[in-house]
Every structure is written in C-alpha cells, then in structure tokens.
C-alpha cells in the first residue's frame, strides 16, 4: 500500500492499494505521485486524492525509486530494463 499523510498532523489523507509489496520510495512532481510495486507495475497517482491516473506493467518487480528530471520519469525494473516516461 501507498499511504499519504499530512506532514503537520500525521493524519492519513489517503491510501492506495497495489497488488504486492511497495519497496520503492515514491517521487512527487506536479501534483502526481510516482511509485513502483513488486507487482511489476509502475503507478501514477493523483497527489490530492490518491486515485490512479495511469499504470504501466513492466516485465518484473519495480523496487527501485523513480527519478524525475526535465519532465521525464525514469525507473528500473527487475526485468533488467530502465524505463523512461515523458516527453520525447
């Protein structure tokens, strides 16, 4: 599960359930949360609501933390590939 907490109060704002354990640290940019899961999926969530905006299925677990730069999101997978999403 991915949990979003209020930084001041520690109160839970929302929770998003994946199909397996989440080991990566999420990355946040432009009102979106980017996070991989051991279910082999890379998720993009709405930061305010925790709803899924998009997902990508890789060939293996995604336990690496995503990196964001210049409008691109990069993450590695246990399938031995590095994935880049964003503007070409």
Domains by residue range for the chain, with CATH: 2-86 (2.40.128.630)
Q: What is the pTM of this model?
A: 0.93
Q: What is the pLDDT of residues 16-45, one digit of tens each?
A: 999 999 999 999 999 999 999 999 999 999
Say yes or no to pLDDT of 88 above 90: no
Q: What is the mean pLDDT of the chain?
A: 96
72: phi then psi, degrees, rounded to nearest 5: -120, 145
Among 37, 30, 22, 42, which Cα is nearest to 69's?
30
């Amino acid at each position: 599960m991915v949990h979003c907490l209020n930084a001041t109060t520690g109160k839970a704002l929302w929770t998003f359930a994946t199909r397996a354990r989440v080991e990566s640290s999420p990355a946040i940019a432009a009102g979106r949360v980017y996070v991989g899961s051991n279910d082999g999926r890379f998720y993009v969530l709405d930061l305010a609501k925790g709803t899924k905006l998009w997902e990508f299925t890789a060939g293996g677990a995604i336990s690496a933390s995503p990196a964001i730069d210049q409008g691109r999101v990069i993450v590695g997978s246990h399938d031995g590939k590095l994935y880049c999403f964003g503007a070409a």
